[in-house]
Amino acid sequence: MNFWQLDLAVKTLKDGGVIAYPTESVFGLGCDASNLKAIARLLAIKQRSYQKGLIVLVSDIRQALPLLAPLSSAQIDKIDQPSIRATTWLIDKQADLSPLLVGQHQKLAVRVTDNPIAKKLCDLFAKPIISTSCNLNGKPASSQVSDIRNKMILKVDQIVGGNCSGQPPSRIVDLDSGAIIRQ
């Protein structure tokens, strides 16, 4: 893990930039989840409608609390439970959260990452980061940095090298009901 790359990525995020970085399954596109201009740019790069909503990535669920309706200690414990598979939780959001984050949905999608590079990036940034696959909408995603360089080099501000964890896409679970939306 190149710490200088992560430091540069954090600076890029703070400056409103868009980065590509490894996640549990594929490379992700990311930006500061509180910067609506950066989110709009990310959606334009990906050619994705805001109506679909986005996932926010954190290293600890407490980083996402400003975006969420209050959570009980039992809900936090449930999210904090170790899992062999990356899990994205659908969680009640703050009432005034931008549609750029949630699209047409009533809940915010939040994933606590276990990819070492993404986790360190979230730790250093100390705020939620957008996480969506690093590809044009409807096109195949990639887990290889060389593919990302070929496809996105002129569109993103920085590519953080490293390995994806080799998992399938995260499962999506509604925190309140426990319903599995995507296995």
What are the pLDDT digits (tens) for 53-71? Answer: 999 999 999 999 999 999 9
For residue 110, which amino acid is it?
V
- Which pLDDT value is given to residue 149? 80
Domain count, the chain: 1
CATH, residue 27: 3.90.870.10
Q: What is the Cα–Cα distance from 9 to 158, expressed in whole angstroms?
A: 7
Give start and end residues of each alpha helix (H) in the chain. 3-14, 36-46, 73-80, 99-102, 116-125, 145-152
Domain that holds residue 49: 3-182
Enumerate residue ranges in the chain where pLDDT < 70: 1, 153
Here the tokens at position 93 are: 């959001």
Distances (CA, A) of 91 to 55, 64, 112, 139: 11, 10, 13, 28
Is residue 50 within 8 Å of 99, Cβ to Cβ?
A: yes
- Tell if the pTM clears 0.85, that is, is over it: yes
- Sequence length of the chain is 183
